[in-house]
Amino acid sequence: MRVGDIAIGGDEFIVMAGPCAVESEQQLLDTAISVVRAGARILRGGAYKPRSSPYSFQGLGVEGLKILSKARQHTGLAIVTEVMSETDVEVVAEYADIMQVGARSMENFSLLERLGTCGRPVLLKRGMTATLEDLLRSAQFVVACGNPDVILCERGIRTFETATRNTFDVAAVPVLKTVSHLPVIVDPSHAAGVRALVPILARAALVVGSDGLLVEVHPQPDNAASDGDQSLTLEQFDTMMRDLDPYLGLRQASDKSCVAAGGIN
């Protein structure tokens, strides 16, 4: 799948990085300049934020989209950002290169149908209680409505374990890559919930054949408006990227073995 000059689901391991939420021009530009230097190809940042409390920061909306577009101009990074509602699809598609559907919206079927005609690739996150079949059925809504460009994202599921925010379902990657032709990426940040675990989950994702990552990075995580605990600092992101280098060869090897393994069940 192509996004500008970027091929997702091909030979290159594509890293998407940036803050959970767009907070200011300075915050986003500082992050963008740093992540592009470290090797990221796509900038993430939410302008519309699904929050579990109505009293939490809800995102900057259109102002956030404009800041994302400035960062693209400045760095050449493509933009991925969340769209929460059918009524926002048009405006988000005006600014974004990839439309993110959050875990909480994976079963918003009218949103998925509308994304079938949005003219942009869709990054579909697995719902926190969704099976892989549920995820694939949601992807089919987008595809059946006319948009073949869907990227699947494993971001951890709810289990009885409380040591991590969610449980990274590592088998989801080879299973999805075996039963579907769609690119599969992993979001280690929402799986971990704490920044110390993000690099090692990222490494695990890479070696099981993920096509890329979606990682939260913030210039000052302790002051972040959302998800600061799981956001890497700019330096930590740079280190994580360097540490992934030796594993890139293993990713290719694992891709071949997972295709050879055949279907599920």
Q: Contact residues for Mn ion (CB under 5 A)?
A: 20, 227
Q: Which is nearer to ligand PEP, 36 or 217 (CB)?
A: 217
Give the CB-nearest residue to ligand PEP: 102
Please tell me the number of Cα atoms within 13 Å of 161 on its side-chain side: 14
Longest CA–CA span in the chain (Å) reads 50
Report the distance separating Cα 26 and Cα 153, nearest Å.
28
Phi, psi for 124 (deg, rounded to 5): -105, 115
- Determine if 85 is a binding residue for ligand PEP (CB under 6 A): no
Q: List the one residue from 4, 50, 76, 148 that touches ligand PEP (CB under 6 A).
A: 50
Main-chain phi, psi angles of 93, to 5 degrees: -65, -25
CA–CA distance, 72 with 169 (Å, rounded to integer): 32
190 binds ligand PEP (CB under 6 A): yes
User: How many residues bind to ligand PEP according to rule CB under 6 A?
Assistant: 10
Token code pair at residue 22? 């767009």
CB of 261 to Mn ion, least distance (A): 32
Closer of 18 and 183 to Mn ion (Cβ):
18
Residue 212 CA neighbour count, 13 Å, CB half: 26
Reported in sequence order, the residue ranges of the chain that DSSP labels E, i.e. its strands, are 2-3, 6-7, 14-18, 42-44, 78-82, 98-101, 122-125, 150-154, 184-186, 212-216
Cβ proximity of 214 and 189 under 8 Å: yes
In the complex with ligand PEP, the residue whose CB is nearer, 155 or 218, is 155
Least distance from ligand PEP to the Cβ atom of residue 77, Å: 16
Smaller CB separation from ligand PEP, 108 or 254: 108
Supply 11's token pair: 């030979």
Q: How far is the CB of 77 from Mn ion (least distance, A)?
A: 18
The interface partner of residue 218, options being ligand PEP, Mn ion, none and the CB cut-off 5 to 8 Å by kind, is none
Q: Which residue has the tokens 């990713």?
A: 251
Which 93-112 positions form the footprint of ligand PEP (CB under 6 A)?
102-104
Position 114 contacts ligand PEP (CB under 6 A): no
Cβ 194 to Mn ion shortest distance, Å:
13
- Closest separation between CB of residue 73 and Mn ion, Å? 24
User: Measured from the CB atom, is 20 or 40 closer to Mn ion?
Assistant: 20
Rounded Cα distance, 148 and 131, in Å: 21
Interactions with ligand PEP, residue window 212-251 (CB under 6 A): none
Side chain identity at 194, as an amino acid letter? V
List residues binding ligand PEP (CB under 6 A). 20, 46, 50, 102-104, 125, 155, 187, 190
